[in-house]
Chain A
Amino acid sequence: MNPTIHVVGAGVISSIGNSYDECFKALQNGEHGIRPLTSLDSIYKDILPVGEVNLTNEELAHHVGMDKPVTRTSLLGLYAAKEALHDAGINNFDRLRNGLISATTVGGMDRTEIFFPSYLKDKTSGHLSDVVHHGCGATTEVMARTLGIKHFISTINTACSSSVNAIMYGARLIQHGILDVVVAGGTDALTKFTINGFKSLMILDDDLCRPFDNDRKGLNLGEGAGFVVLVSDKVLKENNLISKAVVFGFANTNDAFHQTASSPEGRGSYDAMEQALNMAKLNPQAIDYINLHGTGTSNNDLSEGTAIKRLFHDKVPRLSSTKSFTGHTLGASGGIEAVFSIMALHHQCVFPNLRFQTPIDGLDIVPQRAFEKLPLTHVMSNSLGFGGNCSSIIFSKNLKR
């Protein structure tokens, strides 16, 4: 890809850790973060396994220096974006054309759903402060104002592929010379809305999820945020920054099969992976590791697995779903898993796919069972969303060309 886009900073918060290093340790040690729900006033409290971040809103707010009441989604986003920026260490940040591209599916719903029951009883009741940040864009605005980014802000919502689309958009904005540095990724908080929504679709597992296993029963929901800082080669050199990885290829396609189900042959995910490889000018064999979308639902894993077999044939690379650790963090999943992909390159390792026992009938795909140190050059991450929104991105070691 020309010009080269470098990842110079990464930040993440999820149920397995409150930092890049904490998350890595958990991935290395096989320690997932999926436990019975604690934080929401719901009939599923203490019952439904979810991946909650282990910090209260007050703790998050204190950490990011937020003294106003804002949504949990913005707090999580700020937490991870701040870590990414700190990691990037760009002294000149304010003098560069900077932008924030965030992604979220729930936006301020964590507070809107507190407002709504009162409002339903009496249209004059409910605190307006609970709905002022309802919109997805408002999450990004809160983050932008706190981070001091005013030049360019954007928010993407393409369901579960949202934050990887944000990273792609950020990369293209730099390539087109519109921005010099982009903070890109996504954030989503757990809400009653999404828990009940996925319950109504009957795709939640009442137990710990088992991605890519023949006996999988569904997904576990999670929350968190993952952000990266992107710059061009020119900005990298001029500011003496360190490249963690290169954005080597990506693609955004649509399955156009059904609103919530993926096509059996995985045509959308196949197209996304193939086009990402084409952009990177790589053959499928060049991919060393795939961070799967791998939600653990009957439909996704069969569809994604079928697409992978069709593309990689009998040379399927190492692959795993880190949702077996974090749960499915919806709009944040692309961002969190992008950071995990970069982590894999950084530490030259692949992460396990927890609780896998039996390959899916007819697919013969065996995900990574244990943490393993391996030489890696190219890592692919898939994010497939409702509405057929399929995205695939390839991160690579910064090879001097």
Chain B
Amino acid sequence: MVKAFINGMGIISPQQTWGDESFLNAVQDYKSNALTCIEPDYTQWISQQQLRRMSRIIKMGTASAKMALAQASLEKPDGIITGTGFGCLEDTETFLSKITDLHEEALNPTPFMQSTHNTIGSQIALQVQCRGYNQTYTQSAFSLEQSLLDALMVLTENPNQNILTGGVDELTSTSHSIQSRFGKYREDVESTLALLEKPAKGTIAGEGASYFILSGKSTSSSLASVAGVDMYYQLDEAELTERIMFFLKENNLSPDDIDLLLVGKSGDDKNDRHFDYIISSHFAKSSIGAYKHLCGEYAVSSAFAMGLGAAILDKGNIPDGVLLKDEKRFPEKVLIFNSYFQDHHSLILLESCRATKS
């Protein structure tokens, strides 16, 4: 499988991750268990005529895609692959409410039309007139990883292509209220930045839109490369450890080669428990960082992590507020290790491409 270069990215998140400031210039702290995005002025990329019909998730997805394309100096990609855990929730909720309120009479078509998960990827295709490969994965916390794997396969088949790949999920008050009833979130959050200091029951909800331009060819704008991705469903600690070691071996690496392990610790003690074992037993020499205290927990939070990892590898610098443990290693290899509500575990291996940048 080819290594894919990240030649551009657009990240919209609860942190300042877009615009002229450097990535994560000053981390934001929140007193809430529901983190929503810092959103840009969308009129930079989308006309009023088009904006009028777009729900928030579509705006976020389209804007982050356009940012990625701009950074890669491209008008349009050759293909678009999107991961979304829950798709267009706001439109789904609107249409469901209308069905009940209006007793199935005189229903507006717009929310229904926009409720399918592939609306994000297809609206982008429409905006930039991309008639190539267009796919949407919706496998919970594997959605972004499946998109990455697909992109790597496409690029192995056609290394010269530019594939727009990303993860988008939105937080609505309805989804938050329903998920809260499942006991997923911490109550009385005083500081999200302190989320991981004391594991307890529950995490914080988040959202975000992150798109990347991936290609088999590096350019002067290459930030990092994606060297591998893997997913593990419902494995116990021992099996998970074995599979992680196997993944590294397949990539000709040992745990000691990992300069920074970015872990998907969510603050929930049940979710975070197995990280500590794996870190202490195998990654004692790596610096350890985290990201969910910055972006919240959501199905495609690993897309945020990927943006963070790429920024770190590009600048050779880890922003304040990310590190849990500093082994003073210059970042050349970053391994993102995510876990989502104990049953979806994944790895994304990112490498510096400074040596191979054209």
A120 to B138, CA, bound (A): 26
Check B97 against A120 for contact (C-beta < 8 Å).
yes
> Of A112, A141, A150, A257, which contacts B140 at CB under 8 A?
A141
Known: A43-B104, A201-B112, A259-B114. A253 touches B134 (CB 8 A): yes
> Of B1, B122, B137, B182, which contacts A156 at CB under 8 A?
B137
A258 to B104, CA, bound (A): 26
Check A113 against B99 for contact (C-beta < 8 Å).
yes
From B7-15, B16-24, B125-133, B191-199, the one touching the partner chain is B125-133
Tell whether A197 is near chain B: CB-to-CB under 8 Å. Answer: yes
* Chain B contact surface mostly: mixed
Q: Tell me which of B103, B108, B131 has the highest count of chain A C-beta atoms within 10 A of its own C-beta.
A: B131
Report A-chain residues with C-beta under 8 Å of the C-beta of B177: 123
Tell whether A135 is near chain B: CB-to-CB under 8 Å. Answer: yes
A196 to B94, CA, bound (A): 13
Tell whether A95 is near chain B: CB-to-CB under 8 Å. Answer: no
B102-155 with Cβ < 8 A to chain A: 103-105, 107-109, 112-119, 121-123, 125-126, 129-140, 142-143, 146, 149-150, 153
A259 to B91, CA, bound (A): 14
A138 to B156, CA, bound (A): 30
Shortest distance between the CB of B157 and any CB in chain A (Å)? 8
Known: A43-B104, A113-B99. A386 touches B133 (CB 8 A): no
Tell whether A77 is near chain B: CB-to-CB under 8 Å. Answer: no
Number of interface residues of B (CB under 8 A): 57
Tell whether B86 is near chain A: CB-to-CB under 8 Å. Answer: yes
Tell whether B100 is near chain A: CB-to-CB under 8 Å. Answer: yes
Tell whether B234 is near chain A: CB-to-CB under 8 Å. Answer: yes
Tell whether A371 is near chain B: CB-to-CB under 8 Å. Answer: no
A157 to B121, CA, bound (A): 11
Tell whether B231 is near chain A: CB-to-CB under 8 Å. Answer: yes
Shortest distance between the CB of B17 and any CB in chain A (Å)? 26
Least CB separation from B97: chain A residue: A120
Report B-chain residues with C-beta under 8 Å of the C-beta of A155: 137-139
Known: A135-B86, A144-B233. A157 touches B99 (CB 8 A): no
Report A-chain residues with C-beta under 8 Å of the C-beta of B133: 252-254
Shortest distance between the CB of A237 and any CB in chain B (Å)? 24
* Chain A contact surface mostly: mixed
A169 to B235, CA, bound (A): 24
Least CB separation from B143: chain A residue: A137
Least CB separation from B145: chain A residue: A154
A387 to B135, CA, bound (A): 11
Shortest distance between the CB of B21 and any CB in chain A (Å)? 33
Check A43 against B105 for contact (C-beta < 8 Å).
yes
> Of A113, A135, A271, A385, which contacts B138 at CB under 8 A?
A135
A137 to B96, CA, bound (A): 20
Tell whether B296 is near chain A: CB-to-CB under 8 Å. Answer: no
Check A157 against B136 for contact (C-beta < 8 Å).
yes
Check A255 against B131 for contact (C-beta < 8 Å).
yes
Check B142 against A137 for contact (C-beta < 8 Å).
yes
Q: Tell me which of A44, A192, A196, A271 has the highest count of chain B C-beta atoms within 10 A of its own C-beta.
A: A196
A158 to B133, CA, bound (A): 12
> Of B87, B134, B234, which contacts A388 at CB under 8 A?
B134
Q: Tell me which of A44, A254, A259, A268 has the highest count of chain B C-beta atoms within 10 A of its own C-beta.
A: A254
> Of A124, A153, A385, which contacts B139 at CB under 8 A?
A153
Tell whether B238 is near chain A: CB-to-CB under 8 Å. Answer: no
> Of A42, A172, A199, A386, which contacts B118 at CB under 8 A?
A386
How many contacts A-B (CB < 8 Å)?
173
Check B140 against A138 for contact (C-beta < 8 Å).
yes
A120 to B142, CA, bound (A): 31
Known: A44-B104, A193-B96, A196-B112. A254 touches B85 (CB 8 A): no
> Of A137, A150, A197, which contacts B95 at CB under 8 A?
A197
Report A-chain residues with C-beta under 8 Å of the C-beta of B130: 254, 256
Tell whether A354 is near chain B: CB-to-CB under 8 Å. Answer: no
Check B233 against A150 for contact (C-beta < 8 Å).
yes
Report A-chain residues with C-beta under 8 Å of the C-beta of B51: none
A165 to B79, CA, bound (A): 14
Known: A116-B100, A150-B233, A154-B146. A200 touches B137 (CB 8 A): no
Check A260 against B113 for contact (C-beta < 8 Å).
yes
A389 to B129, CA, bound (A): 13
Report B-chain residues with C-beta under 8 Å of the C-beta of A300: none
Tell whether B328 is near chain A: CB-to-CB under 8 Å. Answer: no
Known: A135-B85, A136-B117, A159-B116. A117 touches B139 (CB 8 A): no
A22-47 with Cβ < 8 A to chain B: 42-44
A245-301 with Cβ < 8 A to chain B: 252-260, 267-268, 271
Check B126 against A388 for contact (C-beta < 8 Å).
yes
Check B99 against A193 for contact (C-beta < 8 Å).
yes
Check B126 against A256 for contact (C-beta < 8 Å).
yes
Q: Tell me which of A140, A153, A173 has the highest count of chain B C-beta atoms within 10 A of its own C-beta.
A: A153
Tell whether B178 is near chain A: CB-to-CB under 8 Å. Answer: yes
Report B-chain residues with C-beta under 8 Å of the C-beta of A134: 86
Shortest distance between the CB of A303 and any CB in chain B (Å)? 14
Check B140 against A135 for contact (C-beta < 8 Å).
yes
A113 to B143, CA, bound (A): 24
Please give 9 more A-B residue pairs, beta carbons under 8 A apart, in addition to A120-B100, A154-B142, A172-B153.
A44-B104, A116-B97, A120-B101, A157-B117, A165-B135, A193-B99, A254-B133, A256-B122, A258-B126
The 6 closest A-B pairs by CB, nearest first: A387-B122, A197-B112, A137-B140, A157-B117, A200-B109, A254-B134
Q: Please list the residues of chain B having a beta carbon within 8 angstroms of any beta carbon in chain A.
A: 1, 80, 85-87, 95-97, 99-101, 103-105, 107-109, 112-119, 121-123, 125-126, 129-140, 142-143, 146, 149-150, 153, 156, 177-178, 181-182, 231, 233-235
- 17 A-B pairs within 8 Å (CB atoms) are namely A43-B104, A113-B96, A120-B101, A124-B181, A137-B138, A145-B234, A153-B233, A159-B118, A176-B153, A197-B107, A254-B130, A254-B133, A259-B119, A267-B131, A386-B113, A386-B116, A388-B125
